[in-house]
């Protein structure tokens, strides 16, 4: 009882002294941790497929198509879960949805660590895809519910940075674990770390600012009034109960939404193709050692941290997102193309790393643009649809990459395929840019 009174007095004091609470930024830190660990859980596969002992044990040594399937099956399940499960987030709320998702993720990591066959590992990857596909759209829901429109670019940049930060840190760590212990240790390490965001989300988040005990009246007023202004301009009525079709109709029938989906699809093709195959490319095609491969494979994600962080500030400053997406796609094409044709191995690695890193600049801009198109009552569904379909395209990339390697006997044709995807994305982003978005 005393603690409750103390909390109420604190809120009153903050209100009267004109100091709004800053719980939305505390939430943003938890979102950053959550996505960082989420990507940690998925990237270990790109390291262990460069380990001959693992490939031999799974019976897939010398079979690039099956190696690609380890990522493609994950991405397929991930894409379907985004579309099918994301609507639950609009009813359950992001907090419960994220907790349920992380429980599935922990189960999948345990199964991955004890896998003794290729089939069992594939099953673990499917469960991981379902869990992560359920989780990812909820990040958009939190941003849409907690941040005024003028802050969303930077908010999205902050949590998206976790995707690059995770992989920059994970690749050297997982490389060390594989060399020092075994490939199984990467799964158990990821399982232990996953308990951190699971606890933070359950104990320290709420679906909306109004439901969070530590949000005072000043912060609540600021958030809700700013969001209400935009929703009033968009003629959004949040008090009326609507059918599922009435919720999704505003974005399903919006051609600009579909341009955004297919633009994100090209980014997904590039990102997942390189995320799966870059370590093997560096080690086999460019002849780098395990130690060299470890830090060079992390380089794209160091670039990604820089470009992801700058994206939101740029979007908020110019008040538009599409030009940022267009710039990211074009710079990516330049990096990957010249990285493919140069002879110097280190320069090639840096250029491809730049291409993979700079394309992440488009991701916060895409989500910021999405959040301006879709009302809060449908944001989980819209984000799941966007991400699910885009990742569906990305799911094809690892297998197609492996197919091109098998067909031509080299990596160049596969890399040119990624350049083509980037050029298509640039065209689509250019259309959005011409619409002043």
Q: How high does pLDDT run on average in the chain?
A: 86
User: What pLDDT is recorded for position 5?
Assistant: 43
pLDDT band, very low/low/confident/very high, at 165 (cuts 50, 70, 90) = confident
pLDDT score recorded for residue 276: 76
The residues, any chain, with a CB within 8 Å of residue 265's CB and separated by 6 or more, are 389, 390, 392, 393, 394, 425
The encoded tokens of residue 143 equal 């941003």
What is the arithmetic mean of pLDDT over 76-81? 87
Cα 134 from Cα 124, distance rounded (Å): 16
- In sequence order, the 6+-apart residues with CB closer than 8 A to the CB of 47 are 171, 174, 175, 178, 186, 279, 297
Question: Among 14-28, 117-131, 362-376, which is the least confidently predicted range?
Answer: 14-28
Mean pLDDT calculated for residue range 217-237: 75
DSSP state of 285: I
Residue 319 DSSP symbol: T
Q: List, for residues 185-196, the tens digit of each pLDDT value.
A: 999 999 999 999
pLDDT value, residue 235: 53
Compute the Cα dihedral for 400, 405, 406, 407 and give only its sign: positive
Count CB neighbours of 155 within 10 A: 27
The model's pLDDT over 283-334, given as tens digits with 9 standing for 90+, comes to: 888 888 877 777 787 788 888 888 888 887 788 788 888 999 999 999 999 9
Q: Is the pLDDT of residue 1 over 50?
A: no
Residue 240: predicted pLDDT: 53
More confident residue, 201 or 290: 201
Contact 76, 128 (CB under 8 A): no
- The pLDDT value recorded for residue 233 is 53
pLDDT of residue 407: 86
Count Cβ atoms below 10 Å from residue 17 Cβ, excluding itself.
Answer: 8
Q: Is 17 helix (H, G, I), strand (E, B) or coil?
A: coil
Determine the average pLDDT of the residues in 25-35: 94
For residue 230, the model assigns a pLDDT of: 66
Q: How long, in residues, is the chain?
A: 437
% residues pLDDT > 70 (the chain): 92
Give residue 13's pLDDT: 47
Phi and psi angles of residue 120, each rounded to the nearest 5 degrees, phi first: -65, -40
Give the residue carrying structure tokens 């297998």: 399
Q: Is the pLDDT of residue 65 over 80?
A: no
pLDDT in the model for residue 231: 62
pLDDT of 407-430, one tens digit each? 888 888 989 999 999 999 999 999
| H helical segments located in 362-411 | 362-373, 379-408
């Amino acid at each position: 009882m005393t603690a409750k009174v103390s909390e109420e007095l604190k809120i009153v004091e903050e209100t009267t002294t004109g100091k709004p609470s800053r719980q939305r930024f505390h939430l943003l830190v938890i979102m950053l941790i959550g996505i960082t660990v989420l990507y940690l859980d998925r990237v270990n596969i790109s390291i262990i497929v460069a380990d001959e002992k693992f490939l031999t044990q799974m019976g897939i040594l010398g079979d690039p198509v099956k190696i690609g399937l380890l990522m493609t099956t994950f991405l397929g399940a991930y894409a379907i879960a985004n579309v099918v499960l994301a609507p639950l987030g609009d009813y359950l709320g992001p907090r419960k949805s994220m907790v349920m998702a992380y429980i599935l993720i922990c189960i999948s990591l345990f199964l991955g660590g004890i896998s003794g066959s290729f089939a069992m590992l594939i099953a673990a990857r499917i469960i991981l895809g379902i869990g992560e596909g359920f989780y990812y759209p909820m990040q958009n829901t939190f941003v849409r519910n907690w941040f005024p429109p003028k802050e969303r670019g930077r908010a999205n940049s902050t949590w998206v940075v976790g995707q690059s930060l995770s992989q920059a840190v994970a690749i050297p760590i997982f490389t060390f674990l594989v060399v020092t212990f075994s490939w199984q240790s990467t799964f158990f390490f990821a399982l232990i770390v996953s308990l951190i965001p699971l606890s933070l989300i359950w104990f320290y988040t709420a679906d909306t600012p109004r439901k969070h005990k530590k949000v005072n009246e000043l912060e609540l007023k600021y958030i809700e009034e700013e969001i209400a202004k935009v929703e009033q301009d968009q003629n959004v009525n949040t008090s009326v109960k609507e059918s599922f079709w009435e919720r999704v109709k505003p974005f399903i029938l919006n051609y600009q939404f579909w341009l955004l989906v297919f633009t994100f699809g090209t980014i997904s093709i590039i990102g997942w193709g390189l995320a799966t195959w870059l370590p093997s490319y560096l080690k086999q095609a460019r002849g780098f050692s395990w130690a060299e491969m470890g830090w060079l494979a992390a380089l794209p994600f160091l670039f990604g941290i820089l470009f992801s962080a700058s994206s939101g500030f740029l979007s908020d400053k110019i008040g538009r997102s599409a030009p940022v997406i267009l710039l990211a796609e074009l710079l990516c094409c330049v990096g990957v193309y010249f990285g493919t044709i140069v002879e110097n191995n280190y320069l090639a690695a840096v250029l491809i790393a730049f291409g993979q890193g700079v394309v992440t600049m488009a991701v916060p801009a895409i989500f910021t643009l999405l959040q301006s198109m879709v009302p809060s009552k449908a944001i989980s569904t819209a984000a799941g649809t966007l991400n699910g379909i885009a990742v569906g395209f990305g799911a094809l990339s690892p297998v197609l990459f492996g197919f091109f390697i098998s067909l031509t006997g080299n990596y160049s044709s596969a890399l040119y395929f990624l350049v083509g995807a980037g050029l298509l994305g640039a065209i689509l982003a250019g259309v959005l840019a011409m619409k002043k978005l």
